[in-house]
Amino acid sequence: AVEFVEDSTAPVVSSASLRYVAGTIELELTFNEPVSGVSFNPTAITLTANQSGGYTLQTRLDSRLPDGMSFTFNLSETDVLRIKATDQLALRKNTSFLQFSSDVALDISDNAAAATQTSNLLAISGFVPDTAPPQLVEVTSYDANTGSAILLFNEPVGLQSLAFGDLIYLSDAAG
């Protein structure tokens, strides 16, 4: 007679890659065993640069993912902008870590994933940095009396990185 032993082992995220691709962030997670695509939950993932704080994803998937061991998805625009606006997050491979709650996924036998603690964060193993420079999208107002302007960029920029002396104001698009 064959004895059946039910699976009671929690799936574990074994590796992760983070890639800046065409204005978004793509995250790929690999588990040590197949997990249910319908149970996969990005909001159970926190991106951090160290053992304190971080940013918990708000991305909700629009469609069901197939069951498998690896999941690749794009972060929402809100997540991308908040990550870019937060110092130290997702800047380098050696300072990018993930933390998971057990809600991140269920395996095929409905076992919840192993949660990570701040003492055992998962280091990002694959990393493609953001190499696209921010773009000035619009000057929403300009006051010639005070020399002040409101500039709108396509992503968060560090105020200290702006070279205000390099801005040239023209009367119209033709110059």
Q: How many CB atoms lie within 10 A of CB 174?
A: 5
Q: Do 34 and 67 contact (CB within 8 A), yes or no?
A: yes
Reported pTM: 0.83
Over the chain (175 residues), the average pLDDT of each successive run of 10 is 89 96 93 96 94 88 90 95 88 92 96 92 94 85 83 82 76 62
- Count other Cβ atoms within 10 Å, centred on residue 141: 9
Contact 119, 51 (CB under 8 A): yes
